[in-house]
Amino acid sequence: VSVLYCVFFRPFSKKQKTPFSLFKMVRRDECEFSHFVIHPGHGRRYIPFAFISTKPVLSFQRPKCFSLYQRKKNPRFFAWTRTYRRLHKKHDQDAKTKRRNRKVSRAPRAIVGLDLPTLQETRAKNKKVDRSAKGAAVRAEVAARKAAKK
| Spans of all domains in the chain | 6-94, 110-150
Check whether 60 has a pLDDT greater than 90: yes
Lowest-confidence segment of 34-38, 60-64, 100-104 by average pLDDT: 100-104
Mean pLDDT over 58-76 rounds to 95
- DSSP string computed for the chain: -----EEEE-SS-TT----HHHHTTS--EE-TTT--EE-TT--EEEEE-SS--SSS-EEESSHHHHHHHHTT--GGG-TTSHHHHHHTT-HHHHH-PPP-PPPPPPPP-PPTTS-HHHHHHHHHHHHHHHHHHHHHHHHHHHHHHHHHH-
Per-residue model confidence as pLDDT tens digits over 12-51: 455 555 554 444 567 888 999 999 999 988 999 998 877 6
Residue of 128 and 65 predicted with greater confidence: 65
Residue of 102 and 50 predicted with greater confidence: 102
Residue of 129 and 31 predicted with greater confidence: 31
The CATH architecture that domain 6-94 belongs to is Roll (2.30)
Band of pLDDT at residue 129, cut at 50, 70 and 90: low
Q: What is the pTM of this model?
A: 0.46
